[in-house]
Structure formats: C-alpha cells, structure tokens
Structure 1
Amino acid sequence: MKLRKGKTKSILDASIDSALLAVEIYNKPRTTFRSEGFITMMIMAWTRLFHAHFNSTIGDKYYYKKKGTNRYDVVDGERKAWELATCIRKYGELPSSVEKNLEFFIKLRNKIEHRHIEKREVDTLIFGECQSLLFNYESQLINFFGGEYSINEALVYSLQFSQIRTNNQEKANKSALSSDLAEIVSFVEKYRNKLDDATYNSQEYSIKLIQIPKISNTNRADAAVEFVRWDSLSAEDRKAYEKLNVIIKDKTVKVEAANVGRLKSSEVVKRVNDALKKKAITQNLHVALYKLFKIRPKNGAEDPFDTNAEFCLYDEPHNDYVYQDAWVSFLVHFFQVSQLEPADLRLKERNGEVLNVEDYKM
C-alpha cells in the first residue's frame, strides 16, 4: 500500500532514512564509531517502524501512561512514546530469532553508550548480527507496508581493503584489547552462549557468510557477488556447505569449553613466582588480588559471567574460573612497579578497596 501524506508516512519516511543512514555510517571507510553509529540509527529505524505501524493500526496511542492513571507520561512537554523493547512486546508477533537479534542490540547499545570504541574488532565480531538486523528490518517493513517500500536496491555490498589476516595478526589484535572493548567482547560471547542452537544458527539472528573469491564467471555480465538462498540449494550442495560450516563454525561456547590456553589459579601463582624468581604470591594473596582488581565476581555471585574477559573467564561446565596469560603478565609487571607489600594488599582487600587495572598496565 502506498501511503498518502500524513503522520504515518512521515514516521515511516523517518524510519527508512534512519536505516539508510545506518548503512552509510557502517560502510564509510574512515568511520571510527562504526558499530555505535550503526546500532544507534538502526534502533531508531526499528522504533519508528513500529510507531508507524501502530499509528496506522491503533492510532496515536503508542505512549506510556502514568501508573494507575489514564494520563500520558509527559517528558519536556511531549508524550513519552514506547521504546523499542515495549514496541516488540506490544506487537507480540515477531519470530523468536528476530526478537533475540533485536534484544541483542538493545542490550549492546546500552553497553556501548558511554564507551568510545575505535578498534574494528567489534565490527568484525558482530557483522553477522548487524546484517541480520538490517535484513529483518526490511522484511518487517515489507510485512507492515508492502513491497513498494523495499529499500534493497539502495544498498551495495561494501568493499573490503584487507586480505585474510594471519594467526599472528589475530593474536596481536586480541592482545591489544582495551578494557572497554574486552567487556563488549565478553558480553557478546555470553549472549550468544545463552541462545539455543536453533536460534543461534538461524539467519534471522545472525547471517553467516563464507567469502570465497570467484575464479571466473561463465557469463561476463554476471554479478561479482552472489547470494544463494538455502532452500534453493540441491541436497549435494547443502552437504558441501555443511562441511564448510563445520570447518569455520566459531560459536564461542565450543572453544571456551576446551579451555585452550587457560590457566587455573595454581598455575597463575607458579608462573608469576617463576617470572619474578621468588615467592611473591600465594594462593591466598591471589584471591586478594583478583578481588582488588575486580577481574571476576565472588563465588556464588548472581552473574558468574561478569568477568574482565581480558584476564579471566567463567568455565560454566566446571563452575569455576580460568585465567588468561595476560593476567600473569599483568601481575608480574604489578609486582615489579608497585611498592605495595603483601600485607598492604591484604589490608586493602579486607577494607573493600579497589585498585584500577589501568594504573598498573605496561
């Protein structure tokens, strides 16, 4: 249906403009706040899309009311419109995987709102979810208002500068994670790990792409990039895809379960003492240190996953914690530069003090 001029059309136009601006921000080569900008504009696009739908179906009634009254909640003289999470709940007809994708970005937006993340690792990490967020938006746009509002012709596959990275480059990037970025990566891993396999593997939650250069085209007029629908593949092609999928599948829970390269607390103590060539740390002092630097929650905490992922990770199958090599390096440096004695550290821990990791980093 083609909308005439009016409030619904104005809201819908603003929604589409927000989505297109999100794509423009994401695809600009010099953008340093790519993820933040894309997520912010797409949340706005989705919210306005729902508002346009509600305006055309139930009228101008998508606003919060004061508790226990029929009066609208007013902020700065304007009625407070439903936020995206409320819109999703009020609509109540989105597929579960689409809801999970939106929930992921609502929570992630809140995480990054007060952080400035310049590194591109987050962009790479959440590319699949970003692509699904965009695809789902257009599908819902067409569902609400018809194919006339399809915007796919305005979008182009973005060009890539860098070649496939080596293992050493990946390790260097991971070791350079800031504390803010490590927290974001930890959140993404936790969220994904809580999803059931059906949701995680769905295209509505996250688009998984295998980028393989095409050696040649039979027809020179063919497009350089082709997107193939799963349901259009032959049984033989599906089997071939599944083999590739097993090779590249990277759901974090399967990697973390193996605890490759992770250390128990006793190994941390041994490595620190070996590096310093003296008994600088004991198991008890190690407990005081992880509490002082708040790299992990206390035993029995409500959210055991709330760790500083740069230094420590929660091992769910064994219900304990494992530590990263970076934690050993940090502690060695800390004892080399700090004037604090073990007795001082224990006293600070007993008094509930907290030490800032950034003050003691190399």
Structure 2
Amino acid sequence: MAYARWKHILIESQRHALKAVDEWNCSSGNYSDFLTHMHKAWHYLLHAEFHKAKIDYHYRDPKTGQYVLIDDEPKAWDLEWCLKKRYPDSGDIVRLNAELFVALRNKVEHRYEHNLKIVTGGKAQALVMNYEQEMVDHFGPVFSLADRLRFPIALQTLTADGRKQLQDAAKKLPKKTRDVVAKFEAAIDPAAKDDLRYDYRVRLVPIVGKKTDADLAVNFVNLDDLTDEEQKTMVEAGRLGTVITKVKHVEVADKDKLLPKQVACQVEAQVPFEFHIHPEHTEMWRRLGVRPAKGVANPYDTDARYCIYNDAFKSYAYTPAWVKKVLKEIGTVDKYRAFFGKEPRMKKVTTLPKQADPVFDERPMGKTA
C-alpha cells in the first residue's frame, strides 16, 4: 500500500517506540537499547510532524543558504534541534524530559545500566507517555499504541523488601553518573521536577470491593477528576512513599454520594443558567458513558469515578467528582452551547421594587461606622 511520506516516517517511529518499551519491560532488557530506540522514536515522530506540516527540517549553510549534505543527501535536524523547534519554550516540561534522555544516552556506563534504570524509571515512563500524547495529538487516536502496550509486572514494586532493593541499587550509582541527572535538574525550574510530564511516578493500590465486568487489572486515575480531599490524600501518600502491605475493606454505604437532584442543585448553584435532572443531567451521563440505561442486564457497569449502583435501592448515586466533571464540561454558556447544541435557559433575575432616592454615603467603600 502506498503511504504518504510522513506516514512511513511515523510507522518507523512507532516501531522504535515499541522496541524501546520491550527492552524496558524485558527482565534481560538493555537500558542503552531503550534509550537508543526512544531517541529514534521521538526523532522520527517530530520529522513526521514537520514533513506533514511541510516544514523543511534540514540544515542549511548560513552563508550560502544551500543544504548541508551527507553522502549527497540533505542533513536532517538532529533530535535536540527538533525539540527546540517543536517546543520553543526552553522551560517546556515535555522538552526538558526528552532533553534529559538525550544527555543520558551519551553518558551510560554498561555496568551501571540497571541502577540508572531504577533511578530514572518515572522519567522514562513520562518519556513514553509524552511520546504517545504527542503522536495522538498530531495524528489522531488511530495511531495510538495503547492497545499494544501492557503494564509490566515487577515484584520490586509490590513488596517492602523489593522497595529496599530499589533504594540500595540507586545508592550504588557512581557520582559521575548521578551528576548527569543532578546537574541537569539543578538548571531547571524546581516545579518542573514535580510535573508528571517530567517524572511520572505511580503508586500501586490494590482494588477492593465488588468487581464488575467493566473493571480492568489496572485503572488510570486522573488527578483532575478527584475531589480536593482525594487529591490531597493522593499527593501526601506520594510524598511519603507509602508501601501498602495489607488492605482491610470496610463497607460504607454510599458515603458522600449524591442523588441526581442533589447533583443538579450543586451544578445550578455554580452556573448562570438553569440545570435540571431532565434533560441536561440525564443526557450528560448517557453521552459520557457514566452509567448504563435502566433495565440493562448489568446495572453495575458504571464509571466508578463518577457513579455507583446501589443494589439495595436499585438506583444510582453520584460522586462529588461527577459534579466537577459536569462543571468542567458545561460550566460556561459557550461550553453548554457546544455540548448540548442549544442555548441555555438563563436564570431569572429578580427585579427589586422601586425605592425612594437613596441618601449617598460619601465615606470610602468598605468603611463602616
């Protein structure tokens, strides 16, 4: 099949990305090979973007304006230059993450590969996720690699003893190797180091409670979809580096859950227009796939972040995160119009009865007697 040139480049990029992840996940994988393949994956990805956008990504002699040639072929931009062109802001988190691995690629000592892999694990995860996001943003979800990548099983991340081994391995890195990361991070904004796009650290928490057909072995939780209290708990747990060794499941009947009418009231209190159970709320949970319709064979097939099924009362209850999600989707007149395809019904403004002419107080605003 004849593909456009950019698509050939993109397919080659994907091939290297998959090889990189295979190297990382394989117990006998090579860290240097991971770095090399991800370097090429990013390199080809940005070339594909430039090619599709008709951006010339080849070096020219600044004096003559002619192409710089290698073996009679125009020399293409290297990855460092591609990153600078794609992300002009030198403080861009995605660019910083990729630049770190460009630097590491030239500094890896074979005997310390395993230790360096442990130290940079979260950053490598971010490198791959940033790659996936960049690709999907520019070429569409049809090119996503999500269906071909799996969550690796690593005993070291599941036990307290395994975690100690990781810490010991990190301490064995020679100063010269540690300095590559330390010097790089000393030159960037401290806030960047806590950004998930720079260092994607995860916590494994066993899933407890009743299983539904919609459950996966691994569920992704977006911090933006959590309540303020849930976010605080997750962030604090992340700072402490907690290892969960035992989980006790205690049933709490629909704690903090909301009925549809309560959801509608909370939403309406925060927007300038009317928001009702019917049709707005019903249409939203249906279109966003939060819960199944009435009468289905499996009423438990809900998005547990936003809704749960109460078996005792044969009804659905919603979480505070659902209110936040609704506000995020339709919280302004423009968003409402875009989502529902119609004008919102604005709240009625009560007209106060005409009063006698006021006596003006000439004191500054905010001052009282």
- Aligned equivalent of 2:98, options 86, 102, 122: 102
Deviation at 1:192, TM superposition (A): 2.7
Max radius of gyration: which structure? 2
Q: Does 1:87 align with 2:82?
A: yes
One-letter amino acid of the structure 2 residue matched with residue 73 of structure 1: V
Deviates more, 1:43-52 or 1:71-80: 71-80
TM-score normalised to the size of structure 1? 0.60
The 3-state SS of whatever aligns with 2:110 is coil
Q: Which has the higher helix share?
A: 1
Deviation at 1:76, TM superposition (A): 2.7
Uncovered stretches (5+) of structure 1, i.e. residues with no partner: 250-362
Q: Does 1:125 align with 2:119?
A: yes
Deviation at 1:172, TM superposition (A): 5.2
One-letter amino acid of the structure 2 residue matched with residue 43 of structure 1: H
TM-score normalised to the size of structure 2? 0.59
> Matches of residues 153-164 of structure 1 in structure 2 within 5 Å?
153-162=147-156, 163-164=159-160
Equivalent-residue separation in structure 1 for 2:115 and 2:126 (angstroms): 18
One-letter amino acid of the structure 2 residue matched with residue 5 of structure 1: Y
Encode CA deviations 1:43-95: one digit per residue, 9 max, x unaligned: 11111111111111125x31111231122111233321101111122234678
Uncovered stretches (5+) of structure 2, i.e. residues with no partner: 243-369
Equivalent-residue separation in structure 2 for 1:27 and 1:234 (angstroms): 33
Equivalent-residue separation in structure 1 for 2:88 and 2:182 (angstroms): 27
Q: Which residue of 2 aligns with 1:323?
A: none
Q: Does 1:150 align with 2:148?
A: no
Q: Does 1:213 align with 2:209?
A: no
Kindly indicate whether the alpha-carbon contact (under 8 Å) linking 2:68 and 2:74 is maintained by their aligned counterparts in 1. Answer: yes
Deviation at 1:135, TM superposition (A): 0.8
Give the count of matched residue pairs.
239
Percent identity between the two aligned chains? 28
Equivalent-residue separation in structure 1 for 2:170 and 2:3 (angstroms): 51
> Matches of residues 202-351 of structure 1 in structure 2 within 5 Å?
202-215=195-208, 217-219=210-212, 222-248=215-241
Kindly indicate whether the alpha-carbon contact (under 8 Å) linking 2:19 and 2:37 is maintained by their aligned counterparts in 1. Answer: yes
User: Per the alignment, do residues 109 and 11 of structure 1 end up closer, same or farther by CA in structure 2, a change over 3 Å counting?
Assistant: same
- Aligned equivalent of 2:180, options 187, 193, 216: 187
Q: Does 1:44 align with 2:26?
A: no
User: Per the alignment, do residues 170 and 10 of structure 1 end up closer, same or farther by CA in structure 2, a change over 3 Å counting?
Assistant: closer
Q: Does 1:23 align with 2:17?
A: no
User: Per the alignment, do residues 73 and 222 of structure 1 end up closer, same or farther by CA in structure 2, a change over 3 Å counting?
Assistant: same
Deviates more, 1:131-140 or 1:167-176: 167-176
Q: Which residue of 2 aligns with 1:71?
A: 66
Equivalent-residue separation in structure 2 for 1:124 and 1:63 (angstroms): 36
One-letter amino acid of the structure 1 residue matched with residue 86 of structure 2: Y
